[in-house]
Amino acid sequence: MNPPTFTATPHVLRKLRRERLAALVLSGMVLAMVLPLFAIVAYLVVKGAPLINWAFLVTNPTDGMRAGGIWSALVGTVYLVVIALLVAAPIGVLCAVYLNEYARESWLTRLINLAVVNLAGVPSIVHALFGLGAFVLFAGLGRSILAASLTLAIMTLPVIIASTKEALNAVPLSFREACWNVGASRWQTIWRVVLPNSISGILTGVILQVSRTAGETAPIMFTGAVFFKKVADGALFPYALTDQCMALSMHLYTVTTQVNNAPEALPYAIAVVLLGAVLLVNATAIIVRSYLRSRKKW
């Protein structure tokens, strides 16, 4: 005897149609975001390909920035991003640890959390003016790599604090309670259990700021970037912290708006290098994050 067959009711068929329609709409939204991204990247690569080679990367601009390469701007960007993250990451993580693990719930902590969220949305030009007043003028650092990096660090701090708090909250409370029950102190619990289990989320929040830091123009324009500065071709440490420097974002703006008769491919080549550097850092972060997540026991 054949088993009875089940026929979908009109109600079930309506639910299936709605589900297929929802999947189709969501897929269309994903494509609407991904396809323009690939189109933009492909357009930049095609337009900038004629100039992109090793010499372009390791030589300085010449002929009024109409020829040569981008070495001084590339290494200046690395200086700014690395120093900014070295300052912002430890401070941001420690602030998030205090707010999440030590601070008691009160009107003051709620006010601080609200301030952190609001600061994350402040326009970069406001941070630029703050950096100009606080670091260049008040602290006496002058227009320098250090002043520009500190301005970028202040700009990235709120996002690092917020993302670190989310990563810390993702660690189950039972992990902390188990440590406290065997006599571990609060700091021992944080250092040995909470931070190792949240490091992948913290790393994600920190590395994602590389994109914003490397692409900002206004904060460094006011505090430490210059239109042109010649350094030794291929030198890894051509700048001092008190020097002004070139940066890829500033160089791209300058070439696009203020350099006449520049090769058509030059702005696109600079944009491709900037985008490629950011993607390389993000790809490295994704690999490290995947490795750290694979070591989790929960």
> Per residue in 118-156, pLDDT tens?
888 888 899 999 999 999 999 999 999 999 999 999 999
Report the pLDDT value the prediction gives residue 129, as an integer from 0 to 100.
Answer: 92
Q: Which helix or strand (DSSP H or E) is residue 99 part of? A: none
Rounded CA gap, 136 and 151, in Å?
Answer: 10
CB of 212 within 8 A of CB of 183? no
Residues with pLDDT less than 70, the chain: 1-6, 295-298
Report the pLDDT value the prediction gives residue 22, as an integer from 0 to 100.
Answer: 92
Q: Which helix or strand (DSSP H or E) is residue 298 part of? A: none
Report the pLDDT value the prediction gives residue 2, as an integer from 0 to 100.
Answer: 60
| pTM (2 d.p.) | 0.86
Residues 6+ apart with CB under 8 A from 209: 85, 88, 156, 159, 160
Residues 6+ apart with CB under 8 A from 11: none
Report the pLDDT value the prediction gives residue 3, as an integer from 0 to 100.
Answer: 58
Query: Buried (b) or exposed (e) across 263-278, using 16+ Cβ within 10 A?
Result: eebbbbbbbbbbbebb
* Helical residues (DSSP H) of 98-226, grouped into ranges: 107-119, 124-131, 145-169, 173-181, 186-189, 195-215, 218-223
Go through the domains of the chain in sequence order and give each one's CATH number: 71-294 (1.10.3720.10)
The neighbour count for residue 24, using CB atoms within 10 Å, is: 10
Could you give phi then psi for residue 295, rounded to 5 degrees? -90, -5
The neighbour count for residue 180, using CB atoms within 10 Å, is: 13
Q: Describe the crossing of helices 248-258 and 71-97 by its angle, rounded to 10 degrees.
A: 130
Could you give phi then psi for residue 225, rounded to 5 degrees? -90, 150
Rounded CA gap, 186 and 102, in Å?
Answer: 9
Angstrom CA distances, 23 to 9, 13, 16, 33, 170, stand at: 21, 15, 11, 16, 29
Amino acid at 115: A
